[in-house]
A = this chain, B = another copy of it.
Amino acid sequence: MMSEETVTATLLLSCPDQRGLVARIAHFIFERGGNILDLDEHVDANEGLFFLRVTWDMQDFSLAGGKVPAAFQPLADEFQAEWMINLTSIHNRRRLAIFVSKYDHCLQEILWRHGLGEFDADLALIVSNHPDLKPLADLHHVPFHVFTINKDNKLEQEQQEISLLKQENIDTVILARYMQVLSSRFVGEYPNRIINIHHSFLPAFMGGNPYKQAHERGVKIIGATSHYVTDNLDEGPIIEQDIIRISHKDCLADLIRKGRDLERMVLARALRLHLQDRILVYGNKTVVFE
């Protein structure tokens, strides 16, 4: 039976603020035998919006996991809500694809943390436009697919990639310093499910060579930003950012070295938040329920 396999359910919901939202949602869970493990809500008083994340134990829930969304639909309709319910299950973990080019640091970090069990997901495959990191993928026994990209074959190759992702039932795509810009079509297939790491504290230093830009501007801190990918390059909803101090003693190579550490930490934190269903996107911003 499905309900035996489903361990927890998490509802992410946003809607116009109104009285009784928490009471009615909590009651929906309570009357079906669910035990709330974590509930966090936020009201944006300026915009009159209500945001909620609630996780409950499915062990004694009266519905099988797969039937929860249909049961919740009437309430959601009444609230005019945007919402999703994610179920964690021992037999059905989310599947990840990592896109890389030649830099290995972000991939290393994710492979290592995955091995430690920090992410509640399966690492299904790695895609790259270069063969360089195949040995690393092999070490961790993760299938490695090369799709060489040039000006002429880009859309065609992307179509092959999308087919592969569909076939492999990929839920989330991680751009771990992947040096190609994805087309609108690709992005449209995975809304709020493609996570990128940009090597600056966006919106400073958008575009290429942000460390070079930072060095030339003479800033005293550099940063990294993880965000969902949208059609507008480097402008998607920001998930997580962090910074490190630098000084005049740091040449460009030092910035790149220090930035590597930032990039992998920030990307790993963003991925963890995503996989724990802690991120609710609205407009071009995120609510991160930490």
Check if A78 is an interface residue, CB within 8 A of chain B: no
Which residue of B33, B51, B248, B288 is within 8 Å of A287 (Cβ)?
A: B248
CB–CB A288/B218 < 8 A: no
The number of chain A residues touching the other chain, given as a range, is 35 or more
Check if A80 is an interface residue, CB within 8 A of chain B: no
CB–CB A265/B261 < 8 A: yes
A interface residues, Cβ below 8 angstroms from B: 19-24, 26-27, 29-31, 33-46, 51, 105, 108, 112, 116, 118, 139, 201-205, 217-221, 223, 237-243, 247-249, 251-252, 257, 261, 265, 284-288, 290
A44: shortest Cβ distance to chain B, in Å?
8
A204: shortest Cβ distance to chain B, in Å?
4
As for how many copies of this chain the complex holds, the number is 4
Q: How far is the CA of A116 from the CA of B285 in the complex (A)?
A: 30
Residues from chain B with a CB closer than 8 A to the CB of A217 are: 202-203, 238, 284-285
Q: How far is the CA of A108 from the CA of B110 in the complex (A)?
A: 13
Q: A26-B26, A29-B23 are in contact. Are A247 and B38 (CB under 8 A)?
A: no
Q: How far is the CA of A161 from the CA of B203 in the complex (A)?
A: 37
A259: shortest Cβ distance to chain B, in Å?
13
Residues from chain B with a CB closer than 8 A to the CB of A240 are: 220
Residues from chain B with a CB closer than 8 A to the CB of A33 are: 19
Cβ-closest chain B residue relative to A217: B203
CB–CB A108/B118 < 8 A: no
A8: shortest Cβ distance to chain B, in Å?
12
CB–CB A238/B218 < 8 A: yes
Selected A-B contacts with CB under 8 Å, 6 pairs: A105-B112, A202-B217, A204-B204, A217-B285, A221-B241, A248-B286
Which residue of B29, B30, B203 is within 8 Å of A204 (Cβ)?
A: B203
Q: A27-B27, A41-B38, A217-B238 are in contact. Are A203 and B205 (CB under 8 A)?
A: yes
